[in-house]
Amino acid sequence: MNAGTAGSALFVNGVALWAPRLPGWAVARAVLRGDEPPPGTPATRPAATLLPPTERRRAPDTVVIALEVGSRACQDAGVDPKTVAGVFACTHGDLAIGDYLCTTLATSPTLVSPTKFHNSVHNAPAGYWSIGTGSFAPYTSIVASKHTFGAGFLEAATQVVCEGGPILYVAYDTEARGPLANIFRTRGLLATGLVLAAEPSTHSVARISWHLEPSGHPTATPARPENAALVEPNAMKGCLALFEAIADANHRLVIQTLSRGLALHLEVEPWPP
């Protein structure tokens, strides 16, 4: 599709969000639209009940938060998670494990943990999703630096156009550790999940019309500045304006940059109208 051409429309049939100060969509929706204050005590991390206890204890934060929002979004949409194709997006991968591997290889290379090594690959959360749900549906793993959320949404939206859906879109990032924290300034945990489809259902909460345009505007920021502080400075913070628009149930234009010269325009409106 060329920049400036018409895109398509899709429906948001399931929503999930998790961050320490927004632990679940029910809490996040009320906070983002200004109905409730955020919880006084931040949460640590979700339970990842899709995994058996042994795997749950060993799972890194990237896996835990991705599985949490994926399962919650499917539950919200009323779809069986094992039947849904997925798009998983993460800006940097698991930087904590990356720091561990680099430190161990530099100091005691024979002590590298095989478990942590296999968790270091970018598609590890998507792989755990397939195992945890028993799914044979395809998945895609996306990384696009600071444009990751928009690029992942575009991939999911394109799959909706081609396949009809539902498509699960999960976007997540965690905290940088060690020397990597001086390069990749991302803190805390943040994960979001959307079930997107070409047709509405009884679970639909929003309709999104989307198209590509030359990039002449910055990525949209939340309408309420205080909301940004709830996810700063996580690398996936660019997702917040879209989830704020869904929570507000108002018509709103949300812009996600895809590159220096291209942007994804999302026109969000409540559904049913």
Domains, the chain: 14-203 (3.40.47.10)
The string of DSSP letters for 55-66 reads: HHHH--HHHHHH
Cis, bond preceding 37 (omega within 30 deg of 0):
no
pLDDT digits (tens, 9 = 90+) for 213-268: 998 767 777 778 899 999 989 999 999 999 999 999 889 999 999 998 999 999 99
248: left (phi over 0), alpha (psi -120 to 50) or beta: alpha
pLDDT digits (tens, 9 = 90+) for 70-109: 999 999 999 999 999 999 999 989 989 998 999 999 999 9
Distance CA 235, CA 139 (A): 22
Helix pair angle (25-32, 240-248), 10° resolution: 80
Q: What is the CA radius of gyration of the chain?
A: 18
The larger pLDDT score, comparing residue 185 to residue 39, is at 39
Evaluate whether 89 touches 148 at the Cβ level (below 8 Å).
yes
pLDDT digits (tens, 9 = 90+) for 113-164: 988 888 889 999 999 999 999 999 999 999 999 999 999 999 999 999 999 8
pLDDT exceeds cutoff 50 at 4: no
